[in-house]
Structure formats: C-alpha cells, structure tokens
Homo-oligomer: A and B are copies of this chain.
C-alpha cells in the first residue's frame, strides 16, 4: 500500500479543493430528478469470506449502468440556458459518454460524442440509445482531443470533462452522501480510482461528514499511476496501461490529484486475476452483473495487501463502491471460465 495521506483526519473543508460538501449537497438536489438512488446490498456469505461487514453501493443499477450520470447531469444541468443551447461534447468512449448523451437528452440539448474507431460495439450502442451524435476519431488520445476541439469550435458545444471538473466531482460525491445516509456506521470506503473524479467526490463528502472515515482507493496493477503518484508526491503518468478494468485507465488531473494526495488514506493495487475472481463472486453471491472496474473494490477487500495493513485491523464496516455494470455477458463468461483477457 502507498503512504497514508497527510490530512486524512482533519476534514475536507476550506483546503481549496475543486469541490466541497456544499457543492456536493447542491449537486444532490440538482440531479435528484435524473438519477436513481441506488440500493446498498450485502451478503453474509461474502462477509464470511472477507471477515468484515461489507456494504455494496450498487451504481451498476444507476441510469446508463454506472455512476457517471451523476457527474454528467450535474455538469449539464448547472449550465445556464445560453451555455446549454449549443450542446455539450466529450471524447470518452466509455460510461461517461453514455452518461453525457443521456443527461443531454434529459436537458433537451445535443450531445456530441467523439469515439475512436476501435470502440466496442456495445459502448457505441449505449451512446446511440440515448441519442448522442457520434463523431468518429482515430484511436490516439491526440486524435480524440483534436476532434473534440474541432467540434467545440464548430458547434459552440461545451466540453463535459469526465473527472477534472468541479461539477463532475461534486456529482460523483453524491454516491458518498447516499451511502452514508443509508449506513452511517461505515468506517471505511473502498473506491475504484482512475482519473480520480469519483474518489475525490466520495472522499470530500465522507471526510466532511465524518473525518475519521477511511478512504481507500482500489487500482489495477496494469494502470497503477495513482499509487505511483502517491508514492512520488506528484502526478505520475504511464506510457501505456494494460488491464481488463477498461474504466480505470485514465490518469489523475490537476483538480483530483490534491484530493487524492491529501484525503485518500491508501491505495490498494490488485491484479487482473483478482478482479476477475471478484466479478465472479459478485455474480454468484451478490447476483449482480458488475464490470471489471466495478468489481475492483471487492478485489481490494479480499487482497492480502489489505489484510496485512493496519487499515484492515481498524476497519469493521466497509462500504464498497460498485461503480458500474456495463459488461457483455459472453465476454464476462469467457474471461471467468477461459481466463482470456476481457478486452
């Protein structure tokens, strides 16, 4: 595990982070008509295996199948009518893309989604289902960004960033509010980490409500830039990533890094086999379809790294953020039973 954050115990307000408990509560009120309040599930069988009480916040049941609609709808409904009139644009090809398409549809404005030509059909279908305008780009991030920039210039659409944005972070933080409203006695929350939008929102809300709540990140070994960043004390990016957790390949941004640096107590790194085992446990014991990125919190809870840490001994009731459920059934089955890569 990485080193402990410096200010984990003294709350999250007035440190100049991009969001705070007030912007998160404001987001909760703003997005309430557009998102599901997702259920918290538990399984005594899983608890017996882990040896702790786990509370699974199931964002796989969220609209568009992932937590992303929270940040996307908060960003899009925070726009004034003039700003919104030209529409919005993003260049994610994953859950954020579908969420932006859906939130724009709910607001009644156009969404331009830049998608690389090699994107999986099911993700493209999700964007189409919500009426997003698809603009194809080449595979490289440079091509995606330059196409998005061109769309912005041509249409006047506003960019909705997947994580490095106050309104996005505030929207994602509403997961934390709901979880702690339902199970206030939680002492630890394990959150998947990628660009850091979700964990920043979750940490800012949870530490403001109760500064003693421990925030642990779960990160795939093949994209462990956050763990490296925590160890180095600065943002580290990687030349490439390699993990089945396709939602966890982004790097931290300048707005999420300070929160991760200060308020995330530790980062647990797990390998793809552990993620697949956790997906299988979610299916068989929790009866929930979970994508690799969504299962990583359980994988972290089951890991030796966690069990050998002081956090393990100090944890009793652990919230697990199950971030999304968008995985093709055949692909899931093949990865579970044939141990071939998911993507």
Give A333 to B44 CA distance when docked, in angstroms: 26
Known: A330-B337, A333-B330, A333-B333. A325 touches B287 (CB 8 A): yes
Partner of A65, one of B41, B42, B287, B333: B287
User: 6 other contacts beyond A283-B289, A287-B290, with CB at 8 A cut-off?
Assistant: A39-B39, A61-B286, A61-B288, A287-B288, A287-B325, A288-B289
Residue of B nearest to A44 (CB): B63
What residues of chain A have their CB less than 8 Å away from a CB belonging to chain B?
A: 36, 39, 41-42, 44-45, 60-61, 63, 65, 129, 280, 283-284, 286-290, 325, 329-330, 332-333, 336-337
Question: B129, A329: Cβ atoms under 8 Å?
Answer: no
Number of copies: 2
Using Cβ atoms and an 8 Å threshold, which residues of chain B touch A330?
A: 333, 336-337
Give A41 to B289 CA distance when docked, in angstroms: 14
Give A253 to B202 CA distance when docked, in angstroms: 52
Using Cβ atoms and an 8 Å threshold, which residues of chain B touch A333?
A: 329-330, 332-333
Partner of A41, one of B39, B284, B290, B332: B39
Using Cβ atoms and an 8 Å threshold, which residues of chain B touch A337?
A: 329-330
Partner of A289, one of B45, B63, B65, B287: B287
Question: B329, A280: Cβ atoms under 8 Å?
Answer: yes
Using Cβ atoms and an 8 Å threshold, which residues of chain B touch A288?
A: 61, 287-289
- A318 to nearest B CB, angstroms? 18
Question: B39, A329: Cβ atoms under 8 Å?
Answer: no
What are 15 of the A-B contact pairs (CB < 8 Å)?
A: A41-B61, A44-B63, A45-B129, A60-B287, A61-B287, A283-B289, A284-B329, A287-B288, A287-B325, A288-B288, A289-B289, A329-B333, A329-B336, A329-B337, A330-B333
Known: A289-B288, A289-B289. A329 touches B45 (CB 8 A): no
Using Cβ atoms and an 8 Å threshold, which residues of chain B touch A63?
A: 44
